[in-house]
Amino acid sequence: MKAAILIGGQGTRLRPFTLDTPKPLLPVLNRPFLEYQFRVLRSHGVRDIALCTSYRAENFRRAFGDGRRLGVRLKYVRETIPLGTGGAAKNAEKLLGGGTALILNGDVLNAFDVRAFLRFHRERRAEISIALTRVKDPTAFGLVLTDERGRVRRFLEKPSWDEVETNTINAGAYLFEPSVFTHIPAGKTYSLERGLFPERLAAGALLGGWVAPGYWIDIGTVDKYLQVHLDILHGRTPFKADGVTAGPQADAIVAAGAGSRVAPFARFSGAVSLGRRVRVGRGAQLTDCVVLDDAAVGDGARLERCVVGARARVGTHAVLGPGAALAGGSRVGDYSQL
């Protein structure tokens, strides 16, 4: 089976980090985020992957090339203007080999069993199957209501709270029969979630909804981007981080990229991810945070639940509190508080 991954979004909710790096290429524990999803696909025998790019398309080619290094075979499709999730999937049609195809959102880490998903799809003879997951706040996602036999009854993108009838949402992974593509207009902006799914339901087509067990996250916000690091470091996912050392205090988990240096008396707690060539100053305290490549944290600075962009400088004794997101290359003065 071949797959297409939709990676053309601008990642506006993850600015400033996505201003120069598209969301699926943001580093997670010193690897581009999308590499984790490649690994899941590869482990289930899916190696032929079309990447549907638009925003900063050239960055993907530079990062992954033909994919051989990662054990996958990558092909690229590029939209000159973003065509939405539907237009992007339609563009990949010719690369998907004419069989049942797997379509994925590129900002989701989904440790799901692709074969079990395919079995579900085949058993039901569905035209489209949608992988589902359960979340506390469905309003940020596509709400999917199913019946007791796993057939989709309703698909409602970004519902308001008074429309929330279930906690199952679209996990951003679909199986499409080849005939599905005839229902997607070519060369036009079109949404799978607001167009194709509700329209096929209204036409009486059989859409399956399969609740995917296993770890799932969409890294679309700064908070979730931080969270995926903490989840991997705490062992809540099937993935392992490289360069993990116990912190100076045994209760912390710290992963550090090559060339990072931590000065004496620095203290870590919770889970901390350091990029490559990061400097952590004397007596700095870091709790549950991510510091990207070439950033420097000054002596005595305190960081908690925040993300420090590449090449940023945090002054001595500065304090960065929960939710702080420091743009790449920016500076926080000595003793300032954010």
Q: Is 177 helix (H, G, I), strand (E, B) or coil?
A: coil
Q: Alpha-carbon distance 11 to 56, whole Å?
A: 11
CB 304 within 8 A of CB 287: yes
Amino acid code (one letter) for 123: E
Identify the three-state secondary structure at position 73.
Answer: strand
Which of these is catalytic: 75, 90, 136, 158? 158
Q: Which stretch binds ligand GDD (CB under 6 A): 82-90, 94-102, 174-182, 250-258?
A: 82-90
127 touches Mg ion (CB under 5 A): no
Task: Assess 22 for contact with Mg ion (CB under 5 A).
Answer: no
Q: State yes or no: residue 8 binds ligand GDD (CB under 6 A).
A: yes
Extract long-range pairs of 330-335: CB within 8 Å, 24+ residues apart. Answer: 334/298
If binding is defined by CB under 6 A, does position 6 make contact with ligand GDD?
yes
Q: What is the DSSP annotation of 123-172? A: HHT-SEEEEEEE-S-GGGSEEEEE-TTSBEEEEEES--GGG---SEEEEE
SS3 183: helix
Cα–Cα dist 227/14, whole Å:
13
- Which residue, 11 or 281, has its beta carbon nearer to ligand GDD? 11
9 near ligand GDD (CB under 6 A): yes
90 catalytic? Reply is no
Q: Decide whether 54 or 146 has the Cβ nearer to ligand GDD.
A: 54
Which residues are CB-contacts of 135 (< 8 A; sequence separation ≥ 6)?
141, 167, 169
Select 6 or 320, whichever has its Cβ closest to ligand GDD: 6
Which 54-113 positions form the footprint of Mg ion (CB under 5 A)? 107
CB-closest chain residue to Mg ion: 220
* Residue numbers 40-69 binding ligand GDD by CB under 6 A: 52-54
Does position 199 interact with ligand GDD (CB under 6 A)? The reply is: no
**Residue 170 touches ligand GDD, criterion: CB under 6 A:** yes
Among 82, 150, 214, 248, binds ligand GDD (CB under 6 A): 82
48 binds, among Mg ion, ligand GDD, none (CB under 5 to 8 A by kind): none
How far is the C-alpha of 151 from the C-alpha of 200, rounded, in Å? Answer: 13
Q: Which residues here bind ligand GDD, judged by CB under 6 A?
A: 6-9, 52-54, 79, 82-85, 88, 105-108, 141-142, 157, 169-170, 172, 193, 218, 220
Q: Which residues here bind Mg ion, judged by CB under 5 A?
A: 107, 218, 220
Q: Active-site residues: which are they?
A: 158
